[in-house]
Structure 1
């Protein structure tokens, strides 16, 4: 995994990267058009300028970016074109002022497309391109309709919509007779809103008490976990919440010590120590996002012609080290989970995917 810059790594179009006449010829033959006036020029003179904006540095979102960039490289080689994302990558570190500045910078740079990773990023980038023809392709927006993206002509992308009911079934399969559940999330994360509402409805329907704890920083999340432990909670649910994802490495040992099983909405949580992650394959999502970028820039499609994509939520990822530390048996859990998912796979604790 490459080291991500805090806000932006701009080389302001280094001459050496854009002087090769061969790239110009390839771009002309490989792609038929681009999405903006600025894009037509860059697409034929030095490769398409692809702005990629990551919301925060965490295992899930970093995996999307890595997959997206790798797929763009593949498509570029296949089509004989150049996608320049290296000079237009930014990581906002979950800071709204950073997002605003990044959006303004990318518009000033005349990028051909902006790839916005996570909901807050997509909302900000959509505002940034309001008076331009630059399209936005979002990645990992959990609820595109709730974010207000449906019916708009200049935005499309990929959704990591979570099947909360499926995770609830996994929880009950491992904990029959469960009567109390913790809900750990950030109130400010749009990606958590619907999933938490669904979890509450499930608990109400099944006579399960739920205790909510929230945090907006890692320190606050740590205190929330300690409060859940003090309340005697043994099972905790977190959706695809970027704040909790960022904090997972700091909280998983505390949860293990308290005997808490953490069920979450992405395999990256399990990578960082949670008992289980369930949901979208983010490598596949990143690749699909790159494919949509290529359709816009190379095939002359418009965002309105490309409905946003969703994916099957079928992979349950169990952290084998956490499983053992909690006194659970991996094979037993895998058998219990099989009726409720398409695949069960093991993972060990690490900071990032290799």
Structure 2
């Protein structure tokens, strides 16, 4: 009987404890924290891509996913000689993208972030076959990257786009520079540049404006084309910079030359993309950092809740950011309409930020 007494006493003691005292430990305290593995793939290493990448990581961090804590990132930048361009150079970059996509598919990361159109377009099929979720960012036109539409990424893919309505952007240009009738645009064979110019040409007509465009090689100086667009009866009264890598080469040489020409000849320069263009008086477009942050929102849903990319729509910055350079406007002797002055909301690195809502009232 003595042998049975101790177990019975212990059982009675446990029964007397309050119920919360014998609850099992939560599972999360017993499990090893999961480390998310993310692969990143891009073609070329340019400043705007870094801004998009930073925005992506910052959003993940806000969602509790951070490097050094529970996130491991492997970033691959495929070299591409932007200046040389050409078929064989492009083919070499394409092959490298596909090789990296095959490697990533074999390692089965939790997610792949593709930055830019080429990386997204040429990697997505391989990753889809391997059932690896893909999130893209810094893509100007989703359909050019193999997406079904502006909001549907297609099987296994979602992300964020730089797309903004070109007509909305040109309406803003017209609001600030009401006397503009013909805009000159210089671009290369860059996919985004070609698409931007085509969209601008289509959108300008209903607004009573016209686009005159010239294509140059990435190794060419911009100055001869700038002068040519100012000659004859169809001379342009403004220059607009498309989303084209040409303007970032040689320490922004083309952008600087265009801006200086505009200053000396009293011709405004505007940029239809939020990339650094020294000499631009007006910036209208989506910001790479904000678009990268939107991709981070989608990635967090996939990583934390195992949401399928297919059900997540492509996100975009709904209203373009509008920045004015007051010093450049003063150099051009541009007098702003009162409604534009009233739309100023803040100052950012010397630029005036304007309210889209106030300007469109």
Same fold, TM exceeding 0.5?
Answer: yes
Pair 1:148-2:146 in alignment? yes
Pair 1:294-2:291 in alignment? no
Query: Residue 88 of structure 1 is aligned with which of 37, 62, 75?
Result: 75
Structure 2 length-normalised TM: 0.70
Equivalent pair of 2:101/2:123 in contact (CA under 8 Å) = no
Give the direction of change, closer, same or farther, for the CA distance of 1:79–1:49 in structure 2 (3 Å limit).
Answer: closer
- 1:236-247 maps to which residues of 2 (within 5 A)? 236-246=239-249
**Corresponding residue for 1:104?**
99
- CA positional deviation for 1:81: 5.5
* Aligned mates of 1:217, 1:153 — CA distance in 2: 35
- CA positional deviation for 1:122: 0.9
Cα RMSD (Å): 3.5
Equivalent pair of 1:88/1:106 in contact (CA under 8 Å) = no
Give the direction of change, closer, same or farther, for the CA distance of 1:210–1:128 in structure 2 (3 Å limit).
Answer: same
* Aligned mates of 2:294, 2:173 — CA distance in 1: 30
**Corresponding residue for 1:326?**
332
Give the direction of change, closer, same or farther, for the CA distance of 1:79–1:57 in structure 2 (3 Å limit).
Answer: closer
SS in 1 for 2:240: strand
SS in 2 for 1:88: strand
* Aligned mates of 1:66, 1:266 — CA distance in 2: 18
**Corresponding residue for 2:253?**
250
- 1:135-174 maps to which residues of 2 (within 5 A)? 135-150=133-148, 152-174=154-176
Equivalent pair of 1:337/1:344 in contact (CA under 8 Å) = no
* Total equivalences in the alignment: 303
Q: Which deviates more from structure 2 when the two are superposed, residues 218-227 or residues 145-154?
A: 218-227
- 1:1-354 maps to which residues of 2 (within 5 A)? 44=34, 47-77=35-65, 82-85=70-73, 87-93=74-80, 96=90, 97-109=92-104, 110=107, 111-150=109-148, 152-190=154-192, 192-193=194-195, 195-217=196-218, 219=220, 221=222, 223-229=224-230, 232-246=235-249, 249-259=252-262, 260-270=267-277, 272-328=278-334, 332=336, 335-336=339-340, 345-347=347-349
Structure 1 length-normalised TM: 0.71
- CA positional deviation for 1:102: 4.1
* Aligned mates of 2:219, 2:231 — CA distance in 1: 18
- CA positional deviation for 1:345: 5.0
Residue segments in structure 2 that go unaligned for 5+ positions in a row: 1-27, 83-88, 352-361
- CA positional deviation for 1:53: 2.3
* Aligned mates of 2:221, 2:203 — CA distance in 1: 26
